[in-house]
Structure 1
Amino acid sequence: MKEAFGFAPSWHLWLRYSTFLVLYPTGISSEVGLIYFALPYIKASEKYCFRMPNKWNFSFDYFYAAILALGIYVPGLDIVAGSPHLYNYMLGQRKRALSKSKKE
């Protein structure tokens, strides 16, 4: 709105920097829940699994990859998704942006 009209209402700025407070944990919880509930189907179907022998001499089990993905979501091991780090970063960004708007 600021680029198009030259101004942005204060509620728009607040909404931009506050919706992640609810949406980010909801998204992560949904991803973890969906992976967890899909595990029995993944194991039974063996979809996306590559078994040896094959021309690449490579084996991949999607079931164990999904379990690894669940382990990555544990806050202490969250290197890839970085949920605690990203959440704290966004809290800092929110604080900076909303305090800057009060000064203006």
Structure 2
Amino acid sequence: MTVLPQVFSRLFLVWGIFYVFPEREVLNQIGVPLLVFAWSITETIRYPFYALSVAELQFYPLLWARYTLFYVLYPLGVTGELLTIYSALPIAKNYYPTYYYFLIAIMFSYGPPFYFLYTHMIKQRRKQLGSPKQSSDKKEGKNAHKNTKKAKKL
């Protein structure tokens, strides 16, 4: 369930906005670089993280980045996506009135999935990195990370 909203939003932006509205008014807005930046950094971290996980390897800076940078990247990406959809509204209203209302509905539908994904990642961060107290215990060597038992560290 966590992957579905992410994949949908990306497919929708690529096909439902960029393909339908290749006009400059849509592509030259601040939302596009925001979403491209957030998507790029997210995937640059996510795929090496998954590749190492499959190999049962762990690289702590990558683990930390995977479960920390979302605090900034999720809101940045969602903001970019919403600004991009918003920039397509005037064109949609003139040429595709029904699609205009669909875009508005899509924009309003962002709230619940964003909240779900964001809180899910916060829980995952706690699970993977522990609470701040556990992190300080780790530094002192008092409390080993539960997932490092089976994973080799790089």
* TM > 0.5: yes
Q: 2:106 aligns with which of 45, 66, 69?
A: 69
Identity over aligned pairs, percent = 36
Q: How many matched pairs?
A: 84
Could you tell me which residue of structure 2 aligns to residue 9 of structure 1? 59
CA 1:32–1:2 in structure 2 vs 1: closer, same or farther (change >3 Å)?
closer
**For 2:57 and 2:116, how far apart are their aligned partners in 1?**
32
Structure 2: how far apart are the matches of 1:2 and 1:83?
Answer: 26
* 1:19 aligned partner: 69
Within the alignment, does 1:37 sit opposite 2:87 as a pair? yes
Unaligned stretches of 5+ in structure 1? 50-60
Which structure's relative contact order is higher, taking Cα pairs within 8 Å and 6+ residues apart? 2
Note the C-alpha offset of 1:11: 1.0
Match for residue 118 of structure 2 among 66, 87, 93: 87
DSSP-derived class of the 1:18 partner: coil
User: What does the per-residue CA deviation read over 1:15-46, in whole Å, with 9 as the maximum and x for residues that have no partner?
Assistant: 12112112111111111111111100111122
Distance 2:62 2:108 in 1: 36
Q: SS of the residue aligned with 1:88?
A: helix
Change (3 A) 1:68 1:8: same
Cα RMSD after superposing both structures: 2.2
* Alpha-carbon distance change, 41 to 97 in structure 1, aligned in 2, over 3 angstroms: same
Q: TM-score scaled to structure 2, two decimals?
A: 0.48
Structure 2 unmatched ranges of 5 or more: 1-51, 139-143, 146-154
